[in-house]
Amino acid sequence: MRELFGTDGVRGTANKHPMTAEMALRLGAAAGRYFRRDGSAAHRVVIGKDTRLSGYMFENALTAGFTSTGMNVLLLGPVPTPAVGLLTTSMRADVGVMISASHNPHQDNGIKFFGPDGFKLSDEAEAEIEAILDGDITLAAAENIGRAKRIDDGRFRYVERAKSTFPSALRLDGLKIVIDCANGAAYRAAPEVLWELGAEVIPVGVSPDGTNINQGCGSTDTALAAKTVREHGADLGICLDGDADRVMILDETGTLADGDQIMGLLASRWASEDRLSGNTLVATVMSNLGLERHLAGQGITLHRTGVGDRYVVEAMRKGGFNMGGEQSGHIVMTDYTTTGDGLIAGLQFLREMVETGKPASTLAHQFARVPQLLKNVRYGDGADPLGQAPVQAAIRDAEGRLEGTGRLLIRKSGTEPLIRVMAECEDEGLLSAVVDGIVSEVEAAV
């Protein structure tokens, strides 16, 4: 049973359990032992990170853990999360690690694992690593301790891979693009890709200092990028998060398009080209009902999963589907990459602009959203507000009021101590009433 791992690796506040240097060292050793079970030599791990101050600490601790079990470590430095998935396979590594808390503030950090195929580890593999972690970890003999090596061109390898997903006959000449890198992992790679493809690039969030990642910028705070789009008369804005595995698009007016709108556009295009495997898009239960209706009108199936891009990818692999993602901006296209890639998704959107000649405002708004309201309630350690009788009663009442007219979803976040209360309904008055009623009871319970 997994207790340490959440929906996207291990995550928490740096220097507090479980995100301590000691835990990272043991986690590296446990993962090293898991991937070295055959006892053979020449095992290797690639480690990337974003721009958080604590990344230095966790990089060193993980390196110590892995080398103590005989794994050779290849250090990529600051690179986007999808670069780790890519380089794990291209460098024939047994495991890849990304040190990042994605869209969280700088004081948080996380550790994500990728298997030798470049995909995130399964729940079962993570449970086995936890079991090793809880026991006595067998260390390598002194003469078999691993080595560590800095890889200087990891970013350049990723840049070339990202550019290769954009049609070679097309250029971005004449397009003015605001790229917001959230002061995160893609702060150099993303502007380089767009400039090399011919765009006029206006970078935002490209001055990381270790503590400003996702601060007032990026996919979770697009106000600065929207202002920059309008001030410069840009054709669009591309907003990444701290590790660049998710994206939001801003049209030429600064209006936001989320992952649902982007997936709606790309799935429709791929279906028209007979490229959408199974004529199916995989998305989570959080995706808007308007997306489902939009796709159904074109004969495209929306297959829903639990929340978390790992579960989207698992469903894609099981069903043989090649496109999926989340409303939050994770877009996974397994024709190109093994995990969400905000930059590559942005390039696919740009391809539509170049090939159709249509403005971003036309392409970025594919369907009318059914009114959706999401509110979060933070709770303390050990609390279980959803188990309280008044909360359960409020949920039952809301389900009854929404029956036949909308949807209700209540869940705990897998990455933060939050209860997420989400509902959809055409009647916005009813929508607010049911969400606020549940939130009120949850707040009282915590």
Q: What is the CATH number of the domain that holds 437?
A: 3.30.310.50
Last residue of a domain, one of 154, 180, 209: 154
In the block, tokens 């989340």 appear at 326
Please give the helix or strand (H or E) that residue 304 lies within, else none: strand 301-305
pTM, two decimal places: 0.91
Do residues 353 and 287 share a domain? yes
Contact between residue 86 and residue 118 where contact means Cβ atoms under 8 Å apart: yes
Last residue of a domain, one of 154, 186, 204: 154
Structural tokens at position 396: 């039952």
Do residues 383 and 344 share a domain? no
Active site residue 168: no
54, 68, 100, 102: the catalytic one is 102
Write out the DSSP string of 174-194: T-EEEEE-TTSTTTTHHHHHH
Smallest Cα–Cα separation from 264: which of 336, 409, 368? 368
| Per-residue pLDDT in tens (0 to 9) along the chain, 446 residues | 678 998 789 999 999 999 999 999 999 999 999 998 655 557 999 999 999 999 999 999 999 999 999 999 999 999 999 999 999 999 999 999 999 999 999 999 999 999 999 999 988 999 999 999 999 999 999 999 999 999 999 999 999 999 999 999 999 999 999 999 999 999 999 999 999 999 999 999 999 999 999 999 999 999 999 999 999 999 999 999 999 999 999 999 999 999 999 999 999 999 999 999 999 999 999 999 999 999 999 999 999 999 888 899 999 999 999 999 999 999 999 999 999 999 999 999 999 999 999 999 999 999 999 999 999 999 887 678 888 999 999 999 999 999 888 889 998 887 778 899 999 999 999 999 999 999 999 999 88
Contact between residue 203 and residue 191 where contact means Cβ atoms under 8 Å apart: yes
Do residues 33 and 147 share a domain? yes
Domains contained in the chain, number: 4
- 212 within domain boundaries: yes
> What single-letter DSSP state applies at residue 414?
S
pLDDT computed for residue 207 by the predictor: 98
Do residues 32 and 132 share a domain? yes
Do residues 205 and 105 share a domain? no
Spatial separation of the C-alpha atoms in residues 384 and 331, rounded to whole Å: 32
Amino acid identity for residue 146 in this structure? G
**Residue 325 phi, psi dihedral angles, 5° rounding:** 165, -170
Spatial separation of the C-alpha atoms in residues 297 and 307, rounded to whole Å: 25
Amino acid identity for residue 163 in this structure? K
What are the E-state strand segments in 221-294?
Answer: 236-240, 247-250, 256-257, 280-284
Smallest Cα–Cα separation from 158: which of 329, 343, 296? 343
Please give the helix or strand (H or E) that residue 47 lies within, else none: strand 44-49
Spatial separation of the C-alpha atoms in residues 203 and 73, rounded to whole Å: 32
Spatial separation of the C-alpha atoms in residues 204 and 239, rounded to whole Å: 9
- 235 within domain boundaries: yes
Do residues 381 and 339 share a domain? no
Q: What is the pLDDT of residues 25-83, one digit of tens each?
A: 999 999 999 998 655 557 999 999 999 999 999 999 999 999 999 999 999 999 999 99
Query: Which CATH number does the domain housing residue 227 bear?
Result: 3.40.120.10
Do residues 27 and 144 share a domain? yes
Do residues 53 and 121 share a domain? yes
- 165 within domain boundaries: no
Structural tokens at position 296: 């159904």
Burial 292-323 (b: 16+ CB within 10 A, else e): bebbeeeebbbeebebbbbbbbbbbbeeebbb
Structural tokens at position 57: 């600490």
- 162 within domain boundaries: no
Q: Across-strand partners of 257?
A: 249
Is the bond into 18 cis (omega within 30 degrees of 0)?
yes
Do residues 89 and 215 share a domain? no
Structural tokens at position 384: 């279980």
Do residues 304 and 268 share a domain? yes
* Domain assignment of residue 195, given as a range: 171-256
- 296 within domain boundaries: yes
Q: What is the pLDDT of residues 337-383, one digit of tens each?
A: 999 999 999 999 999 999 999 999 999 999 999 999 999 999 887 67
Task: Please report how the helices 55-68 and 21-35 are oriented relative to each other, as an axis angle in degrees rounded to 10.
Answer: 40
Please give the helix or strand (H or E) that residue 254 lies within, else none: none
Please give the helix or strand (H or E) that residue 267 lies within, else none: helix 259-272
Last residue of a domain, one of 363, 383, 408: 363
Do residues 139 and 18 share a domain? yes
Question: Three-state DSSP class for 311?
Answer: helix
Spatial separation of the C-alpha atoms in residues 413 and 418, rounded to whole Å: 5
Surface-to-core class of residue 21, CB atoms within 10 Å of its CB (0-12 exposed, 13-18 middle, 19+ buried): middle
Do residues 31 and 58 share a domain? yes
